[in-house]
Amino acid sequence: MSGAHAGAQAPFKDRATAALADKTLKIAIDRTTGNAERKRAAAVAAFPEFEAARARGKAIKDHVIAHLDHYLEQFERNATASGAKVHWAVDDAGARAIVTRICLEAKAKLVTRSKSMLGEEIGLPHALADAGIERVETDLAEHIIQLAGEKPSHIVWPAMHRTREQVAELFKTGHRPPPAAEDPATMVQSARRELRTKFLSADIGISGANFLVADTGATCTVTNEGNAELTTTPPRIHIVTAGIEKIVPSTVHAFALLRLLVRSATGGELTQYTTFHCGPKRPGDADGPEEMHIVLVDNGRTRMLADEFREMLRCIRCGACMNHCVVYRQIGGHAYGGTYPGPMGSVLTPVLDGLAGSRDLPNACTMNGRCAEVCPVGIPLPTLLRAWRIRSWREKLEPGALRVGISLWAMLAKRPALYRLASRTGVRAIRMFGKAGWISRLPLAGGWTAHRDMPRPKGRTFMEQYRAEQAKKGGRP
């Protein structure tokens, strides 16, 4: 179980209902995901080779996954040769312990952090607080949610659930002096001023990695703001936390995936800053950290490698699946309750937090397939979500009423003659509940009729009418 989400939360349906009632949240979601969807579509349209690039990206990730041990060892050798220290963590607790120990041994007072979902996954923010270390989030969105005391609601835009008006409120109390106006430009300037001194006085900078390059030992970050470089350059120590699936064979392979990642995430071609970090400051270097630590984190990934969720290891965390998900676009990220929201989160959260507490996530999906359609590395997300449903059914985690309902229905459906009889009787019974074509309240179908009317069945089933016609014609029954 992940320490990051050990706290009790309301059930999924209650969280979703609360999110649906939040009109401001809906405005914020529509603004960001709407923009993202339009920009991605334009970027893909401007890149006719996108499909071929996607096939290549998928093949690269599959290749790495099939030789993961080889590449991890190669990465470790090369990173060590560059002067970095490589650490390994089996789970989130192990990873937290390593990072905290490095911070405490360095007597760090102030740590800056550049956005990393892996850091969120392993519960790093809380671990640093528990160790009495001041943590400053430097990504603008992470800065916003740090001021709000929240968790990210999106893996690319962690503060997308907040409107500009709400951000202005946070900055008014969180910035000294407060921003002069509420437009995004003024607020961004205010954050720039507020964070600048933190960057330069931090003892340790922590980043994630979008790629780990096996043949050079470099880690790669991509940002638009420039906060990753400002986080990793001035402090004495740079710590990277990264999932073991982030590995690529070489810089060229990273570039092939980068073309997919940025277009799928923001609709850009490259982020403003793509930086390879290879070891600590070299003799003679004008700047840079004296120590570099890389923490390679498993936390469920080797389990996924061994079971039906292996394909999920291809994920490059672009967020396109959630931007195009009808459910995410109604309830936003927090309602999902895990580190990762949306379709990819609904596959990952049961891995990280256990299926028993998250069985709703793979079920709360219409299986419309749009997520898989936009996934830049061809992850069959609906198939993986269905795989969790199968496990949930097998482990008897599905609600009793549903199990009984499906089993009864299946018992009939497996017996065509009986089924014919039941459907003939059934449609006549259902007809009694409506008038003039529509049923507005139907027992056992409250989920339907609470929100929409039900067309009244025609009275005789197709099979009844068809057989009658056949008999009239004297044809085959």
Q: Is 105 in the site for other proteins (CB under 8 A)?
A: no
Per DSSP bridges, beta strands 204-207 and 110-113 are parallel
CB of 282 to other proteins, least distance (A): 6
CB of 286 to other proteins, least distance (A): 4
CB of 7 to other proteins, least distance (A): 24
Q: Which is nearer to other proteins, 72 or 315 (CB)?
A: 72
Cβ-proximal residues to 170 (8 Å cutoff; 6+ apart), any chain: 144, 147, 148, 162
**Under a CB-based contact definition with an 8 Å cutoff, are residues 136 and 110 in contact?**
yes
CA distance 53 to 431: 54
Stretch near other proteins under the rule CB under 8 A, chosen from 100-108, 201-209, 229-237, 346-354: 229-237
CB of 357 to other proteins, least distance (A): 17
CA distance 279 to 291: 8
Binding mask of the shown chain, residues 289 to 328, with x at each position contacting other proteins by CB under 8 A: -------x-x---xx-xx---x---------------xx-
Q: Is 466 in the site for other proteins (CB under 8 A)?
A: yes
Q: Residue 213 has which token pair?
A: 């390059």
Size of the site for other proteins (CB under 8 A): 168
Q: Is 55 in the site for other proteins (CB under 8 A)?
A: yes
Cβ–Cβ contacts within 10 Å for residue 342, how many? 30
CA distance 271 to 273: 5
Binding mask of the shown chain, residues 333 to 362, with x at each position contacting other proteins by CB under 8 A: ------------------------------
Q: Which is nearer to other proteins, 108 or 297 (CB)?
A: 297
From 246, 293, 317, 456, residue interacting with other proteins (rule: CB under 8 A): 456
CB of 245 to other proteins, least distance (A): 11
Q: Residue 212 has which token pair?
A: 């780990």
- Binding to other proteins (CB under 8 A) within 124-143 occurs at 138-141
Residue 177: asked if its preceding bond is cis (omega within 30°), the reply is yes
**Under a CB-based contact definition with an 8 Å cutoff, are residues 108 and 203 in contact?**
yes
CB of 132 to other proteins, least distance (A): 25
- Binding to other proteins (CB under 8 A) within 365-394 occurs at 365-370, 372-373, 383, 386, 388-394
- Binding to other proteins (CB under 8 A) within 135-194 occurs at 138-141, 144, 157-160, 162-164, 167, 184-185, 187-189, 191-192
DSSP letters of 368-431?
--HHHHH-TT---HHHHHHHHHHHHHHTT-S-HHHHHHHHHHHHHHT-HHHHHHHHHHHHHHHH
- Binding to other proteins (CB under 8 A) within 244-273 occurs at 244, 249-253, 255-256, 258-259, 266, 268-273
CA distance 227 to 389: 40
CB of 406 to other proteins, least distance (A): 5
CB of 329 to other proteins, least distance (A): 8
Cβ–Cβ contacts within 10 Å for residue 475, how many? 8
Give the torsion sign (CA, 367, 350, 135, 177).
positive
